[in-house]
Structure 1
Amino acid sequence: MAKNKKQVSFEDALWGACDKLRGTVEPAEYKHVVLSLIFLKFVNDKFDTRRQELKDEGKKKYIDVQSFYTMKNVFFVPEESRWSFIMQNAKQNDIALKIDTALNTIEKQNPSLKGALPDNYYSRLGIDVSKLAALLDEINNIQTNADKENDIMGRVYEYFLTKFALQEGKGKGEFYTPKSVVNLIAEMIEPYKGKIYDPCCGSGGMFVQSLKFVENHAGNSKDISVYGQEGTTTTYKLAKMNLAIRGIPCDLGEKAANTFTNDLHKDLRADYIMANPPFNQKDWRAENEFVNDARWNGYTVPPTSNANYGWILHMVSKLSTNGTAGFLLANGALSGEGQELEIRKQLIENNLVEAIVILPRNLFYTTDISVTLWILNKNKKSRTVEQNGKIKTYRNREDEVLFMDLRQMGSPFEKKYIELTQEDRDKVTSTFHAWQQAGASETYIDIPEFCYSANKKEIVEKGYNLVPSRYIEFVNRDETQDYDSAMKALQSELTDLLKQEEEGKKELLGVFKDLGYEIKL
């Protein structure tokens, strides 16, 4: 056990934790091993804080009464599950069993954690006792209560995705959605009150940031109910943990399940949908599968070759009468042909598409491509609504779509990534909301190289193509040029040149070595 707790960054502590696992478990398992332990530490830290509060309030006799913890959305932690007990036994041969018992006991004591925690996981892994003890020491250094404003579990998950995306493979489509992007979606669709749904909820980051948006705007999180689904068991468990430790009631279904083959919320009609579906899923359904599915009602059946429009129509089927959806898709969905074109045409003719926003490249840790934020709205007509105590009047925008290009926005983040700053997001959301309410109390104007409001006639003339550069005015460059593809080609060419240079160096060193010279370049 570490005698002196020191304040270290999450990154340093987690990397140290991984160092302890090398050669013991597969890299793909690292995040799952560490996350459950961090969860256990986090729950204990909150429990200890509440326990001290009770003592300070003169309620010492209630420190072992579970209801005095649950009333504050704090999980009650039995003695055998307490972090101090784990650390006292960290070097014992049965520590793996004690960890499994601790997690199992907490889950049994707290019904909202049902199905969230790993079952007999550490005993099955067979981690060497000394390495597991060293890992516990690293976790012990993390002060989980130190950063009350940020999504700690999401930050941990994001970190591991960054480090191990290559080992696990990018093909799974498992992309953690950066917080700045989730915030942008929330700030645009403003989920103040009603049901929020995410059909591919991952670690639950959309829900966490949605409720933070409500709280930051003086709303009441009790006015929001959360529904989600996740197909991967380990990620489903993480989402349950992530939401449970924040006291966010949620319905993620009884188990992990594929949203297409086993929809766990068939009768749900959501007021808000926020999602980041897997991009460009191939062979997501058999040729004769889901052909008559109710989710495609009135629309062309999505192609088997790509699930993008399957996700879109699934979300459309879940929207309430006045529902709004904000979700991410690969840029190819803006101009796809065949069945995709037919569905896109139907969505536009049904006045569902409200805004199309191209995002900058390098926002994601596991892919460098530029992606699109779609905003769909079931009610683009003139209307007056109350949002968080404020009356807002919306203009009739049934026959219009707002196009925005954010590719020149963003600031460097962690050297090779980009994030949308609060200033960036404010510019985008103020423009979007001014466009929605223009003619009431807001004024909107088209801005070259940034935004353009297109009417349906223009969109039809362009073949129902939704690529923003087909509409937004570009002053100093060819608007027909696909700059993303061109840049990617240049980067690929540069990579090849660097590789050739490296091979040339190795060949030269080999020549000198044959001549008896050891030279370092």
Structure 2
Amino acid sequence: MSTLGSFIWSIADQLRGPYRPNQYGNVILPLTILRRLDCILEPDRETVRELARTFDNPNRLKIEVKKATGRPFYNTSNYGFSNLLADADGLADNLADYLDRFSADVDVFEYFDFKKEILALEKAGLLREIITSFKAIDLHPKVVSNADMGDAFEYIIRKFNEAANETSGDHYTPRDAIRLLVDLLFAEKEADLSEAGIVRTLYDPTAGTGGMLALAEEHLLAQNPDANLSLYGQEYNPQSYAICKSDLLAKGHDATNIAFGNTLTDDAFKGRKFDFCMSNPPYGVDWKQYAKKVTEERDEAGPYGRFAPGLPATSDGQMLFLLHLAHKMRAPKDGGGRVGIIMNGSPLFNGAAGSGPSEIRRWLLENDLVEAIVALPTNMFFNTGIATYIWILDNTKHPDARGLVQIIDGTSFWTKMRKNLGSKGREISDTDREKVVSLYVDFLDADPDYSKVLSNDEFGYWTITVERPLLGEDGKPVVDRKGQRKPDPKKRDTENVPFTYGGSTAGRAGKLDVINAYFDAEVKPHVPDAWIDWAKVKTGYEIPFTRHFYRYVPPRPLAEIDADLDKQIAKILDLLREVEGDR
């Protein structure tokens, strides 16, 4: 729990009355951002004002400010938290002036419509009180680290959403889950990432408040302080976008790398590829309202478009983000790319052969892009206790991993939290994380109770349609004009035939032989008059994760069960006797 976040939340209590709890964020979040930027600007404020008097051109001024302060943003106002309160009558106007005089890349306050809130606070007689409270907090990065600042933002967002009885799932991925994702994402490239002066790019299409980007940068710089990691992201929630962008501004990153908008309908980085991509997209979110635009893009882009492999049901768009990220990986000839994405269980198996989800899995597996899938513990997230999984994609797999997928059961590697936070009662401790990463690194040598390495073909199957003849009143098969038996729709059945049936290692190429072998052994002995409609054969892929880690637990001996029943019956009889005795 964030101590700073708790303190900021306490400031929100001053709004009680004129503001409802679900409106607190409209004031507290932008003021927290403003105070953070104000603390960063304060030491060089006079230098920037002098430069502003010398250079009228904004582009030239930005260059000169960067030379003088090392920062990519600036503010030329004569006001700041240090002197805003000096002019009591002009506080609202002076604060608005302060907002107006940020450099153009600081557009974050527009997404809160904050000038409207300034007038509302002044009308309610709260503006001076709130500014006084924020002036008392020192949010300079030397006092409040970027990690602590991120924790504070996410804490107060979650508190505001809880107060408004809303979900925080779109905003907040637990830090322990992100750290595991980051470790897995970078693990395969650790040696390369230690090189002096390396330059890499990292992209999150569902950036939220920037937690994933921040922890990924923290991880890389801890290993290699000389590394240069350029961060890119896109976010469709206005408040989250503003927080994410201001966080990157505070760290000195190029703020134009953070875009506002819906990634599925408007890819802000179209044509750009990245070394690393990561995301925790919303689960089970309906995308019907975007379906027309997404479908049009797929049809217009052709076989090389990001949604070409298939479209999931409009009731759940997380696989669209999976395709988007696969499309964003840097090409193998340019060094390749890796993806880490957290999703729930449905992308593993939803959809029958030939459906959109199955076709997406087919494309990923047949192109050998899936490197590993890790099952996380349940009760890991703040707004849901469902099972979740980390998928790792790589288009330049290590030679030993080509054609293979590692699945890791990490569901037992968790530590109970002292206090639940919403639905989150478990966390992945440093020790838990190390165990999971070790399983991933050990690969073929990992403990088979928790790790399996399977060929891509082990996830493929054919769905065959088995027909039986339609019989006439005379009991004989009805035939068409060509003398072919007509099928009876009521007796029609389907069977799923694994690529690996009978020990086949031929994969897709073994289609004819494997299906015939299956039919002869599993179907014909039971229904001799049946046949396969080859025109209806469909190829499907699913990842039956839990089946591979199923552990048979033998039933208790009957004598033991009977003994327990006898004990319970005896207790019940004793209680009945007590009741009878009281009468």
Q: Same fold (TM over 0.5)?
A: yes
1:172 offset after TM fit, Å?
Answer: 8.1
Sequence identity, in percent?
23
In structure 1, how many angstroms separate the alpha carbons of the residues matched to 2:454 and 2:230? 34
Q: Out of 132, 150, 155, which is 2:151 matched to?
A: 155
1:319 offset after TM fit, Å?
Answer: 1.3
> Does the CA contact (< 8 Å) of 1:196 and 1:272 recur in 2?
yes
Distance 1:112 1:290, change over 3 A: closer
In structure 1, how many angstroms separate the alpha carbons of the residues matched to 2:392 and 2:138? 38
1:336 offset after TM fit, Å?
Answer: 0.8
Q: Which moved more, 1:313-322 or 1:139-148?
A: 139-148
In structure 2, how many angstroms separate the alpha carbons of the residues matched to 1:155 and 1:220? 26
Is residue 336 of structure 2 the alignment partner of residue 307 of structure 1? no
Q: Out of 123, 134, 137, which is 1:139 matched to?
A: 134
Structure 1 unaligned blocks of 5 or more: 1-7, 55-60, 383-394, 439-443, 479-521
1:272 offset after TM fit, Å?
Answer: 0.9
1:477 offset after TM fit, Å?
Answer: 8.7
After superposition, give the CA deviation of every residue in 1:82-111 in whole Å (9 maximum; x if it has no partner).
Answer: 21112445xx35433332222222x23xx4
> Does the CA contact (< 8 Å) of 2:371 and 2:404 recur in 1?
no
Structure 2 unaligned blocks of 5 or more: 55-63, 194-198, 461-497, 500-539, 556-583
Indicate the SS of the match to 2:83: helix
Q: What is the aligned partner in structure 1 of residue 446 from structure 2?
A: 445
In structure 2, how many angstroms separate the alpha carbons of the residues matched to 1:140 and 1:405? 45
In structure 1, how many angstroms separate the alpha carbons of the residues matched to 2:360 and 2:179? 28
Q: What is the aligned partner in structure 1 of residue 408 from structure 2?
A: 403
Q: What is the aligned partner in structure 2 of residue 474 from structure 1?
A: 551
Q: CA RMSD in A?
A: 3.3
In structure 1, how many angstroms separate the alpha carbons of the residues matched to 2:132 and 2:67? 27
Q: What is the aligned partner in structure 1 of residue 106 from structure 2?
A: 113
1:466 offset after TM fit, Å?
Answer: 2.6
In structure 2, how many angstroms separate the alpha carbons of the residues matched to 1:199 and 1:451? 30
1:456 offset after TM fit, Å?
Answer: 2.5
Q: Which moved more, 1:32-41 or 1:135-144?
A: 135-144
> Does the CA contact (< 8 Å) of 2:5 and 2:153 recur in 1?
no
Q: Out of 251, 254, 278, which is 1:249 matched to?
A: 254
In structure 1, how many angstroms separate the alpha carbons of the residues matched to 2:16 and 2:363? 52
After superposition, give the CA deviation of every residue in 1:45-83 in whole Å (9 maximum; x if it has no partner).
Answer: 23345689x9xxxxxx99x99738854338545463321
1:275-294 → structure 2 map (5 Å cutoff): 275-285=279-289, 288-291=292-295, 293=298, 294=301
Question: Which residue identity does 1:452 align to in structure 2?
Answer: K
In structure 2, how many angstroms separate the alpha carbons of the residues matched to 1:477 and 1:189? 39
1:241 offset after TM fit, Å?
Answer: 0.7
1:247 offset after TM fit, Å?
Answer: 1.0
> Does the CA contact (< 8 Å) of 2:286 and 2:316 recur in 1?
yes
Q: What is the aligned partner in structure 2 of residue 209 from structure 1?
A: 215
Indicate the SS of the match to 2:82: helix
Distance 1:236 1:268, change over 3 A: same
1:19-418 → structure 2 map (5 Å cutoff): 19-48=13-42, 67=65, 71-73=69-71, 76-78=74-76, 80-89=78-87, 92-105=88-101, 107-108=102-103, 111-115=104-108, 118=112, 120-128=115-123, 130-145=125-140, 147-168=143-164, 170=166, 173-190=169-186, 192=193, 193-222=199-228, 224-252=229-257, 256-285=260-289, 288-291=292-295, 293=298, 294=301, 295-296=305-306, 298-321=308-331, 322-337=336-351, 338-382=355-399, 395-412=400-417, 414-416=419-421, 417=424, 418=426
In structure 2, how many angstroms separate the alpha carbons of the residues matched to 1:359 and 1:256? 30
Distance 1:352 1:42, change over 3 A: same
In structure 2, how many angstroms separate the alpha carbons of the residues matched to 1:127 and 1:357? 52
Q: What is the aligned partner in structure 2 of residue 456 from structure 1?
A: 456
Question: Which residue identity does 2:389 align to in structure 1?
Answer: T
1:375 offset after TM fit, Å?
Answer: 1.0
Indicate the SS of the match to 1:400: strand
1:287 offset after TM fit, Å?
Answer: 5.5
In structure 2, how many angstroms separate the alpha carbons of the residues matched to 1:287 and 1:412? 40
In structure 2, how many angstroms separate the alpha carbons of the residues matched to 1:419 and 1:48? 38
In structure 1, how many angstroms separate the alpha carbons of the residues matched to 2:452 and 2:554? 17
After superposition, give the CA deviation of every residue in 1:332-361 in whole Å (9 maximum; x if it has no partner).
Answer: 222211321232233222211111112223
Is residue 425 of structure 2 the alignment partner of residue 432 of structure 1? no
> Does the CA contact (< 8 Å) of 1:198 and 1:275 recur in 2?
yes
> Does the CA contact (< 8 Å) of 2:349 and 2:358 recur in 1?
yes
Distance 1:151 1:70, change over 3 A: farther
In structure 2, how many angstroms separate the alpha carbons of the residues matched to 1:453 and 1:377? 16
Distance 1:287 1:298, change over 3 A: closer
Q: What is the aligned partner in structure 1 of residue 431 from structure 2?
A: 423
Question: Which residue identity does 1:329 align to in structure 2?
Answer: M
In structure 2, how many angstroms separate the alpha carbons of the residues matched to 1:335 and 1:409? 25
> Does the CA contact (< 8 Å) of 2:73 and 2:106 recur in 1?
no
Q: Which moved more, 1:31-40 or 1:72-81?
A: 72-81
In structure 1, how many angstroms separate the alpha carbons of the residues matched to 2:554 and 2:45? 63
Q: What is the aligned partner in structure 1 of residue 482 from structure 2?
A: none
Q: Which moved more, 1:264-273 or 1:37-46?
A: 37-46
> Does the CA contact (< 8 Å) of 1:10 and 1:142 recur in 2?
no
Q: Out of 5, 9, 19, which is 2:3 matched to?
A: 9
> Does the CA contact (< 8 Å) of 1:161 and 1:365 recur in 2?
no
